[in-house]
Amino acid sequence: MPDMTDSKALAGKVAIVTGAGRGIGAAIAAGLARSGATVCCAARTTAEIEATAARIGDAGGEAFAQAADVTDAAAVEALYRAVAARCGGFDTLFINAGASLDQRRVEESDPTLFERTLQVNLIGAYHCARLAIPHLRARGGGRMVLIGSGMGHNSLNGHAAYSCSKAAVWMLVRILANELRGDNISVNELVPGPVRTSMTATQLDAGGVIGSPVEWVKQPEDVVPLALMLAGYPAPGPTGQSFSLMRRTS
């Protein structure tokens, strides 16, 4: 496989990262650009993704911002059309946009927040993946990486909505991998484990997410090397797999 420490290993490739305004998404977008890809930074908040794209540009990379709400299929299709018009298509998609809006047990949960969490994490991932297929197929193949969670494999009390949504995302990865195996489109899950972001800082400080004294609490940049490996692995490469940066098994 290519040496992903080579700053131009992804030269000529076009990548889309959803949820690229901050945290893990912003770090992955910057890493892809450092490796030579042209990166579309997508999210609902225009100011955040414009800031991410500007930082990438200031560092010598190629990036642009395109606002999109992943829960809206029409907005996702408009995102892809905009990228195709500007860049001729795209090769890599990181489905990263996520939310954890109800951090309670099922009995105490808020049905509206529970449903909204699933809308962002699962239905948003579904829209992004489904609508990307013809675009990737037109390029002769490509890479989809869905950002999963250890809580989608082994849940913790008080995170029912998030855990259910991420468990479904892991199943979606395996379904897509099987369906697209003949199209040279690989689909894999990246499980970052605990990462200190604006969404998780309070939970990490409270000690409620780690679950083990040996866990590795990361910064967003610590996720980038694995993301670049999955983006740059040559065909056919792995598909239908979960790649984890966690240090615990349950």
What is the predicted pLDDT for the residue at 188?
Answer: 98
What is the predicted pLDDT for the residue at 30?
Answer: 98
CATH homologous superfamily for 14-231?
NAD(P)-binding Rossmann-like Domain (3.40.50.720)
Please write the tens of the pLDDT for every residue from 89-143.
Answer: 999 999 999 998 888 888 988 999 999 999 999 999 999 999 999 999 999 999 9
What is the predicted pLDDT for the residue at 161?
Answer: 92
**pTM of the complete model:** 0.91
Domain boundaries, the chain: 14-231
pLDDT at 169 over 90: yes
State mean pLDDT over 20-25.
96
126 has catalytic annotation:
no
What is the predicted pLDDT for the residue at 156?
Answer: 74
Active-site residue, selected from the candidate residues 80, 126, 162, 233: 162
State mean pLDDT over 213-219.
77
Share of the chain above pLDDT 90, in %: 75
Q: 3-class secondary structure for the chain?
A: CCCCCCCCCCCCCEEEEECCCCHHHHHHHHHHHHCCCEEEEEECCHHHHHHHHHHHHHCCCEEEEEECCCCCHHHHHHHHHHHHHHHCCCCEEEECCCCCCCCCCCCCCCHHHHHHHHHHHHHHHHHHHHHHHHHHHHCCCEEEEEECCHHHCCCCCCCHHHHHHHHHHHHHHHHHHHHCHHHCEEEEEEECCCECCCCCHHHHHHCCCCCCCCCCCECHHHHHHHHHHHHHCCCCCCCCCEEECCCCCC
Please write the tens of the pLDDT for every residue from 192-207.
Answer: 988 876 555 455 555 5
What is the predicted pLDDT for the residue at 24?
Answer: 95
Question: How would residue 1 be classed by pLDDT, with cut points 50, 70 and 90?
Answer: very low
Q: Which has the minimum average pLDDT: 26-30, 118-122, 145-149, 235-239?
A: 235-239
